[in-house]
Amino acid sequence: MKTEENGNIVIATLGGGLQLLNPQTGQFTTYTTHNSPLVSNFLSSIAFDLTGNILMGHAQEYSILDAKTHKIRRLIRPKSHKFLSVSSINQIFVDSRGLLWNAGSSGLSVYDSQSDSLMTIPLFADRKAGTAYAIAEDLSHTLWVTTDQGVSHLVADKDEGRWNFFVTNYTDVDGLQDRQFNSRAILLCKNGTIVVGGQDGINLLTPQSESKFDVTAKALFSGLLVFNQPVRVGDDYNGHIILDEELHDGGKLKLNHDENAFTIQLSSDAVCLPNRCRFLYRLKGFDDKWLQTTDGQPAVTFTNLTSGRYTLEVKVVNADGTQSSEVSRLKILIRPPFYLSAWAYACYFVLFCLLFMS
């Protein structure tokens, strides 16, 4: 149930379509599949977009009621001209950026109408998507989602036209109830507190202050694994020594072509940061997009890199999504196999010249 700016009360029903109640006259206006293009009379959730239109989530698709004309149409993606649909809907929500969020039995997804892109948000590393029950935006414009694993906190950031989402998960270890949360049972209070409801009552979530501070924490390269085998300074690996000194910012890592599946472990020099801090990283020369490490896994892994020169860049991300201004860099060289080395090409050239002269 929602309230329009004109005071009309908007009611979503499970089988009776959409109803608008004028509290002054006490009259209902009902929209169903019989008198409108409504996708279904079953409405899972409703939300207002930034222009005041009413978005309706059904089992999988969406309808929209124009706030000015009060005409209903199906929600169509502007570029592909296809109907917007998802696998399931528990709650829909439009945030202050205009992004349309969907919490459903297959997890959390978000639709950006400007780019016509529908993205699935991976809330849990190395686990199935799970179920998302409810979603709300706090006063700092970050998102809170109740799931079958607990509560997830999302910080959105747009970089070069692409959305990135920094996820922090909370469970009963952090004081949450350990049973299932209820669908659409979430509320933002005027004082900024988020209230979530479940089978064991309610939890009050108090987001951090809106004020941002400059994080100067620096990422450290704390370890190396090659094919899951730890490699330390001075260790012999495949007949040669990979590390003659510890990995460090501005340092170099040289690997043979058959050692191109490796993991670099990370840590931070700021012990005062919460233990939930994670890292953003990118491997220049391979992909310029910043990626985020997962909860409890402060490491980055690369496999099957072709021979060449790369630069690994890493920076710390605090639990509230604040990024460090310090970027640590490690140069990585993957040597080519002998038959693709510079010496091999020189030999090929000499042989070609000899064959040509003969």
pLDDT category, 25, cuts 50, 70, 90? very high
The dihedral sign for the CA sequence 197, 203, 209, 213: negative
Asked whether 290 and 182 are in contact (CB, 8 A), the reply is no
pLDDT in tens, 133-147: 999 999 999 999 999
Mean of the pLDDT values across residues 90-101? 96
pLDDT at position 212 is 47
Interval 161-212: pLDDT, tens: 889 888 888 888 778 998 899 999 999 999 999 999 999 999 999 886 444 4
What is the overall mean pLDDT for the chain?
A: 87
**β partners of residue 309:** 333
pLDDT band at 332 (very low <50, low <70, confident <90, very high): very high
* pLDDT grade for 339, boundaries at 50, 70 and 90: low
- How many CB atoms within 10 Å of residue 266? 22
Q: How far is Cα 267 from Cα 66, in angstroms, rounded to an integer?
A: 51
Contact (Cβ atoms closer than 8 angstroms) between residue 160 and residue 115: no
User: What pTM does this model have?
Assistant: 0.70
Residue 9 has pLDDT above 90, yes or no: yes
Who has greater pLDDT, 146 or 323?
Answer: 146
β-strands 181-188, 162-170 pairing: unpaired
Whether pLDDT at 344 is above 70:
no
Confidence bin at 342 (pLDDT 50/70/90): low
Q: Two tokens at 14?
A: 């499970």
Q: What is the pLDDT of residue 133?
A: 96
Element counts in the chain: helices (H) and strands (E): 1, 30
pLDDT confidence band for 320 (50 / 70 / 90): low
- The whole-number pLDDT of residue 348 equals 58
Interval 4-25 mean pLDDT: 92
For residue range 212-241, list pLDDT tens digits in order: 444 678 899 999 999 999 999 999 998 889
Provide the pLDDT confidence category of residue 42 given band limits of 50, 70 and 90.
very high
Q: Give the pLDDT score at 213.
A: 42
Residues 150 and 161 sit within 8 Å (Cβ to Cβ): no
Instruction: Please tell me the predicted confidence (pLDDT) of residue 276.
Output: 60
Question: In one letter, which amino acid is 196?
Answer: V
248-279 tens-digit pLDDT: 999 999 999 899 899 999 988 865 444 566 88
DSSP 204-236: EE-PPPS----B---EEEEEEEETTEEE-TT-E
Q: What is the pLDDT of residue 355?
A: 76
Q: What percent of the chain has pLDDT over 70?
A: 89
Local structure of residue 41 (DSSP, 8 states): S
Of 29-38, 82-91, 292-301, 348-357, the poorest mean pLDDT is in 348-357
